Amino acid sequence: MPPKPPGGSRRSCPTRVVPELGPGEVWWAELDPGRGREQSGRRPVLVIASAEYLRAVTTLAIVVPVTTVDRGWPNHINLGDCGLPRPSWAMTEQPRTLSRERLVGQAGRVDRETLAEVRSWLRDFLED
């Protein structure tokens, strides 16, 4: 390990500016490294966190990955006209908390009804 500089602290590396987010926004994210069946690579994600959470926790985002593969699963919610170039589905079985530094550009937004349907599936997965 390199020695500490005078004054006892190490210089921190510059970080990217973290974006401001809103619920229902679709962003491109860098999800590597992935493990097992997790989605990985550069792909769109849907922000599912509440506005209050996003205001309070300014460095993280709760998202679900988005896929262009229609598996016909009822918990994969079609995002409609959300700003992506191809038909896309939210993968509600894979919620994930990400550093906002992984978000590289906004693609669009879903409507309120779509976000509510995604959140409904999340509640079903979490409640007994």
On whether the CB atoms of residues 45 and 88 are closer than 8 A, the answer is no
pLDDT value of residue 115? 98
How many Cα atoms sit within 13 Å of 48 on the Cβ side? Answer: 29
On whether the CB atoms of residues 70 and 86 are closer than 8 A, the answer is no
Pairs from 51-55 (Cβ < 8 Å, separation ≥ 24): 51/22, 51/23, 54/20, 54/21, 54/22, 54/23
Query: Whole-model pTM?
Result: 0.83
Residue 89's DSSP bridge partners are: 67, 78
Q: Is the dihedral of CA 104, 59, 118, 35 positive or negative?
A: positive
pLDDT value of residue 41? 80
pLDDT value of residue 11? 47
pLDDT value of residue 120? 96
C-alpha to C-alpha distance for 119 and 122, rounded to whole angstroms? 5
- In order along its 128 residues, the chain shows pLDDT tens digits of 445 545 544 444 445 566 789 999 999 999 877 666 666 688 999 999 999 999 999 999 999 999 999 999 999 999 999 999 999 999 999 999 999 999 999 999 999 999 999 999 999 988 87
